[in-house]
Amino acid sequence: MAEYQAPLRDIRFVLNEVFEADKLWQSLPGLDGAIDAETADAMLEEAGKITSQTIAPLNRNGDEEGAVWNDGVVTTPAGFKQAYTTYAEGGWVGLSGNAEYGGLGMPKTLGVQVEEMLYGANSSFALYIALTAGSTLALDAHGSEELKQKYLPNMYAGTWAGTMCLTEPHAGTDLGIIRTRAVPEADGSYAVTGTKIFITGGEHDLTENIIHLVLAKLPDAPAGPKGISLFLVPKFLVNEDGSLGERNAVSCGSIEHKMGIKGSATCVMNFDGAKGYLIGELNKGLNAMFTMMNYERLSIGIQGIGCAEASYQSAVDYARERIQSRAPTGAVQPDKAADPIIVHPDVRRMLLTMKAMTEGSRAFSTYVGMQLDTSKFAEDGAIRDKADDLVALLTPVAKAFFTDVGFENCVHGQQVFGGHGYIREWGQEQLVRDVRIAQIYEGTNGIQALDLMGRKTVANGGAFFQVFADEIQGFINDNTGADMAEFVQPLQGALDNLKQLTAEVIERSKANPNEVGAASVEYLHTFGYTAYAYMWARMAKVALAASTDSDGFYQAKLSTARFFFKRLLPRIHSLSESVRAGSEVLFELDAAQF
């Protein structure tokens, strides 16, 4: 079985050649010269080493051993703690953290590359890092200066970890009905009481303290989501001098026994009058939490990319070595009993699908990272507003489409192995199990599709969509030469289709609100394939212009682009027809008839 290797060549291609990230970084005064191409390359090289050599080897034993709960104490799999210490000592936990409080201040465009390596190496391990990064983001954006100075440095250093505590046994998507309560105390703190479930990294042995961000309501809070506030609740209280004090009234009641990501502790957390501190304003907790959600949802989307890349590497290695039957056109290796299965058309179909969709995903994640950086660091208000609109529009696409195609790709990888793909020792069945959760948590993909179709498209009359469509149209208009025709012409057709589809759903929803939900999933997938067509056209343009190609890298890019446009992009036609079928057929059955 092939060992995971960080795909640095392709990451550099996307980052440096397709998007010229260094130019973006130098144009954003908010980055204050913190990063340049040379520094980024050195950091990627080091991240590739630690993920491939230190973290990836723990993936299988992490799955087989799993996180273990014993009387409120959670122990992570063997090797996790040592690897985490190594990772934290390198400053990686605070990679994109605010430099004022000890973070490295790196842009998200770089961060998404490191996240992909982490998820590709070991999804369970990566989740501990991802939750700390997300919680520090919310704290930095909305916490008081006192809270930031007290907690952020140790969280960025990896000495303390972070969580986000939203879900309750009766309240998942509908957070407005949470029951966790926060009662004001005389010293300005709050006594937080309630139970949260599905809390990633709620308890573990990797750090000396865990900082929980908890959604709760005051006793007199308004009903529904408008009454939710956000609180910081540490596992151990922190003394005035920064040292750890007594244990807070928060405990892990149990951990879940799951289909995958078994090395990640998914906890039931009980808060029994635990001391907490308000983050941001009262009754504005969802606003504060959603500051981190754009980043977290992109991160979970990247889990789909990382797992798919790991699956692809293993599947390609196997397909080159496994010999079965002869090629349809005659023996390729007549000196052997059979030919390697990579000669067979269907195996190539699966491998090319994995390659095209994973590389398209990598380009799109980088593009979304650029919008996040622009939104955060640009000084020009108009540029920042445009990036804000694109972030709002594309975040649900990234989370849902990355993970839907990531799961599809891992299933393809398993299928390439045949019966061996079902056997534990080859690793493919673990990837299928691990990546499956990414379609569910951080908002199920159905909810992401509803967000895209309803709030991000129909609600504003397609205004956000038009920003993205105009950019794609501008690229098409600038690349009308004969050399780009095979890529630009189908991109134009896909864009025209998506424009028409968007207008149709907006119009139909005026008379029937069910049209939004009925169209949402297929619409998101149509959007995703169209967005990838834009990414592949941009990659093809760079590959066509390459002056040298000693290792065949650019030719492989062009061949993969052609495969995408000819074999994968046509999926938009069946998806679009499903959208156009409308909602009526979904409601012909009474509930009792199901």
Instruction: Write out pLDDT tens, residues 177-227.
Output: 999 999 999 999 999 999 999 999 999 999 999 999 999 999 999 999 899
Pairing of strands 73-75, 68-70: antiparallel
CB atoms within 10 A of CB 553: 14
Indicate whether 419 belongs to any domain: no
Per DSSP, 581 falls in state T
Indicate whether 60 belongs to any domain: no
What is the percent of the chain where pLDDT is above 90? 95
At 176 the pLDDT is 84
Give the pair of three-digit tokens for residue 473: 């149209």
Nearest to 228 by CA among 181, 171, 298: 181
Give the pair of three-digit tokens for residue 41: 């390359």
Read off the pLDDT of each residue in 320-349 and give the average, rounded to a whole number: 96
Indicate whether 535 belongs to any domain: yes
Is position 208 annotated as part of the catalytic site?
no
CB atoms within 10 A of CB 64: 12
Query: 173: burial class by Cβ within 10 Å (0-12, 13-18, 19+)?
Result: exposed
Read off the pLDDT of each residue in 375-394 and give the average, rounded to a whole number: 95
Indicate whether 417 belongs to any domain: no
Could you tell me the CA-to-CA distances from 159 to 97, 174, 183 in Å, in that order? Answer: 14, 33, 29
- Can you tell me the distance from the alpha carbon of 337 to that of 420, in angstroms, rounded to the nearest whole number? 20
The helix/strand/coil state of 147 is helix
Give the pair of three-digit tokens for residue 78: 């063997």
Q: Residue 515: pLDDT above 80?
A: yes
Confidence of residue 273 (pLDDT cuts 50, 70, 90): very high
Q: Residue 294: pLDDT above 80?
A: no
Lowest-confidence segment of 109-113, 160-164, 169-173, 424-428 by average pLDDT: 169-173
Pairing of strands 160-165, 266-279: unpaired
Q: Which residue has the tokens 């590359």?
A: 113
Residues 6 or more apart whose CB falls under 8 angstroms from that of 582 comprise 508, 515, 518
At 1 the pLDDT is 65
Confidence of residue 293 (pLDDT cuts 50, 70, 90): confident
Residues 6 or more apart whose CB falls under 8 angstroms from that of 214 comprise 165, 180, 192, 194, 196, 230, 231, 232, 233, 271, 276
Read off the pLDDT of each residue in 462-475 and give the average, rounded to a whole number: 98
Rounded to the nearest 10°, the torsion over CA 152, 156, 161, 163 is 70
The catalytically annotated residue of 168, 203, 442, 522 is 442
Q: Is the dihedral of CA 48, 31, 304, 413 positive or negative?
A: negative
Confidence of residue 171 (pLDDT cuts 50, 70, 90): confident
Read off the pLDDT of each residue in 559-571 and give the average, rounded to a whole number: 98
Half-sphere exposure (Cβ direction) of 196: Cα atoms closer than 13 Å: 30
- Can you tell me the distance from the alpha carbon of 538 to that of 531, in angstroms, rounded to the nearest whole number? 11
Could you tell me the CA-to-CA distances from 231 to 288, 296, 309, 481 in Å, in that order? Answer: 10, 18, 37, 56
Give the pair of three-digit tokens for residue 271: 């808060």
Return the bridge partners of 251, or none: 270
- For all residues of the chain together, what is the average pLDDT? 96
- How far from chain centre, in Å, is Cα 519? 23
Residues 6 or more apart whose CB falls under 8 angstroms from that of 511 comprise none
Per DSSP, 1 falls in state -
Indicate whether 420 belongs to any domain: no
131 touches 163 (CB < 8 A): yes
Confidence of residue 551 (pLDDT cuts 50, 70, 90): very high
272 touches 250 (CB < 8 A): yes
Based on its alpha-carbon atoms, the radius of gyration of the chain, rounded to whole angstroms, reads 24
Indicate whether 506 belongs to any domain: yes
The total domain count for the chain is: 1
316 touches 322 (CB < 8 A): no
CB atoms within 10 A of CB 192: 27
Give the pair of three-digit tokens for residue 209: 């303290």
At 172 the pLDDT is 81
At 31 the pLDDT is 86
Read off the pLDDT of each residue in 349-371 and give the average, rounded to a whole number: 98
- Can you tell me the distance from the alpha carbon of 462 to that of 523, in angstroms, rounded to the nearest whole number? 13
Nearest to 310 by CA among 432, 422, 404, 424: 432
At 175 the pLDDT is 84
Nearest to 85 by CA among 44, 128, 130, 52: 128
What is the residue range of 459's domain? 444-586
φ/ψ (deg, to 5) at 295: -70, -45
Residues 6 or more apart whose CB falls under 8 angstroms from that of 59 comprise 4, 121, 122, 123, 124, 125, 427, 430
463 touches 422 (CB < 8 A): no
- Can you tell me the distance from the alpha carbon of 505 to that of 497, in angstroms, rounded to the nearest whole number? 12
Show the CA angle centred on residue 144, arms to residues 138 and 146, nearest 5°. Answer: 120
Indicate whether 454 belongs to any domain: yes
- Can you tell me the distance from the alpha carbon of 195 to that of 247, in angstroms, rounded to the nearest whole number? 18
Rounded to the nearest 10°, the torsion over CA 98, 290, 465, 356 is 70
Indicate whether 178 belongs to any domain: no
